[in-house]
Amino acid sequence: MIWSFITFIVRKFDPETAHQISLNALKFGIHPRLKFIKIPTRINNLIFKNILGVAAGFDKNAEVIKNIHFLNFGFTEVGTITPLPQYGNAKPRVFRLEDDEAIINRNGFNNLGMNQAKIKLEKYRKEFPVGGDFIMGINIGPNKDSPDRFRDYEVLSENLAKFADYITINISSPNTPNLREFHNKELLGKVIKSVKKGISNSESSLMQLPIFLKIAPDISNENLETIVHTANKLKITGLIISNTTIDRNETLKSKNSIEIGGLSGKPLFYKSTTILCLANKIIKQNNYKLYLIAAGGVSDAKTTYAKILCGADLVQLYSSMTFKGPLIADNIIRGLLELMKRDKVKAIEDVRGISHNPEEAMQIASKGLNFSIGNKK
């Protein structure tokens, strides 16, 4: 009850101030300390003790890594980190859509830059070395005014690889001009090769450091196929589906829906999950070994379950913490275990990717596997 009240009070502040209050609370230990619940999964050599993680954007400057796990998350992703410090776009740049449980942001990769991140990451890794129980990914992106964005990706991966359990290449923020052009086959290949070169030149002992590519939901089916084939050809680990959308659903109720930027939260669920389903289908049809991390519209146990049913190996959230508070991961994991128990699912792998679309997945999440099987008879 107390955490719901605190969340309510914090939301009275403007979104960026509220976000900073949340970060400060975590830094100073003002947060729940929850009993950790395991729903393990494995991606190559990484063992995630819990399938739910914090998406990039929450901890841009790697400030609160060691306290996130107290909230029952199994992993976190810091960043997006750019080579040089960057203020980002002019304020106000983050807008709540209260009636829609959504957020629009046009931050523009605001962060303190690579060198400041390295200081914090070095300190964290002295206490919690790479390969520990709590997995940490590092999300990287270029500076807005960079003369060579490929070089930015290389420099970032070279300098940050030794601190990471995995690296995420961000090519999908709608708030950095022309960034989404890297979804193009030729440019995408060059970006991935730049990151791989950086890792090979780094001090990291993990030459096979997992690499994920975070993509936009606003792409064609043909573009998605190209991305999946390129990811497989260049042997990266997988995709994160997806970043925010520039589309605006006509059912949005909040006045802030007219703001420019990337939309996240509940209205993104079906769009991002449709892309997830299609990516899973392409991977299966071609017998590729690519893993999928799902983000976009995750707000409770049912939406989390639906993402897994549509092919997700792991699930991330961020925006829903704004509305649900610091107990959200605990509530989701407990709820997910109840759904698994209802459906007699012993391991999450047993139902991963069995749905063909988000509508079917949500029907199963709401009414159970027996309902789905009964409908197919």
Distance from CA of residue 352 to its chain's centroid? 18
Q: Are 50 and 74 in contact (CB under 8 A)?
A: yes
DSSP state, 108? -
- Angle at which helix 269-285 crosses helix 301-309, to 10 degrees, equals 30
Burial zone of 249 (CB within 10 Å; 0-12 exposed, 13-18 middle, 19+ buried): middle
Q: Which helix (H) or strand (E) holds 137?
A: strand 135-140
- Other CB atoms within 10 Å distance of the CB of residue 120: 18
Interstrand relation of 102-105 and 94-97 (parallel, antiparallel or unpaired): antiparallel
Cα 49 from Cα 279, distance rounded (Å): 25
Question: 175 in the Ramachandran plot: left (φ > 0), alpha (ψ -120 to 50) or beta?
Answer: alpha
What's the residue count for the chain?
377
Among residues 146, 157, 172, 173, the one annotated as catalytic is 173
Distances (CA, A) of 274 to 185, 289, 301, 354: 21, 20, 18, 14
Q: Are 103 and 321 in contact (CB under 8 A)?
A: no
Specify the amino acid at residue 346. Answer: K
Q: Is 173 considered catalytic here?
A: yes
Q: What are phi and psi of 169, to 5 degrees?
A: -90, 115
Distances (CA, A) of 134 to 49, 67, 119, 238: 8, 10, 19, 20
Q: Which helix (H) or strand (E) holds 199?
A: helix 185-200
Q: Are 75 and 130 in contact (CB under 8 A)?
A: no
DSSP state, 86? B
Residues annotated as catalytic (active site), given as ranges: 173
